[in-house]
Amino acid sequence: MSNNTEIVSRFIAAWEARNVDAIMAFFAPDAVYHNMPMPRLVGHAQIREFIQPFVDGADWVAFKVLHSAENAAGTVLNERVDSFVLKDGKKLAIKVVGIFECSGGKIVAWRDYFDMKEFEAQMAG
């Protein structure tokens, strides 16, 4: 496992631990997080503002990585199923493709591609 793939694996573990401080520690100060098709977030403040309520609203989180690859430039791509059990008992399982660009041991860009309609349907159900 390469260094950047290991960084992404530890980042996922921080999500599964629901530890926002640990999650944020993986991001470079000017990192970009873009959940397609949601608004692009830049920097720790914007990223934390989005992540904190999502993590706080979950009793359980698991990111199951189905496939992972890293290119010569160190960009990590993974196909995942992100599962959540929310505090109200609602269960979500979202199919995601994630792209992680790393530099200096930090995530500088994270893009997740998922079906918003599938997410909305699960939230409504």
Q: What is the pLDDT of residues 80-92, one digit of tens each?
A: 999 999 999 999 9
Q: What is the mean pLDDT of residues 78-105?
A: 97
Query: How many Cβ atoms sit within 10 Å of the Cβ of residue 61?
Result: 19
Count: domains in the chain: 1
Give the domain CATH number at 59: 3.10.450.50
First-to-last C-alpha distance (Å) of the chain: 38
- Following DSSP, what letter does each residue of the chain receive, concatenated? --HHHHHHHHHHHHHHTT-HHHHHHTEEEEEEEEEETSPEEEHHHHHHHHHHHHHHTEEEEEEEEEEEEE-TT--EEEEEEEEEEETTS-EEEEEEEEEEEEETTEEEEEEEEE-HHHHHHHHH-
- The pLDDT-based confidence of 2 (bands split at 50, 70, 90) is confident
pLDDT exceeds cutoff 70 at 54: yes
pTM: 0.94
Percent with pLDDT over 70 in the chain: 99
Q: The domain containing residue 115 runs over which residues?
A: 3-124
Q: What is the pLDDT of residues 34-50, one digit of tens each?
A: 999 899 999 999 999 99
* Tokens linked to 115: 């079906």
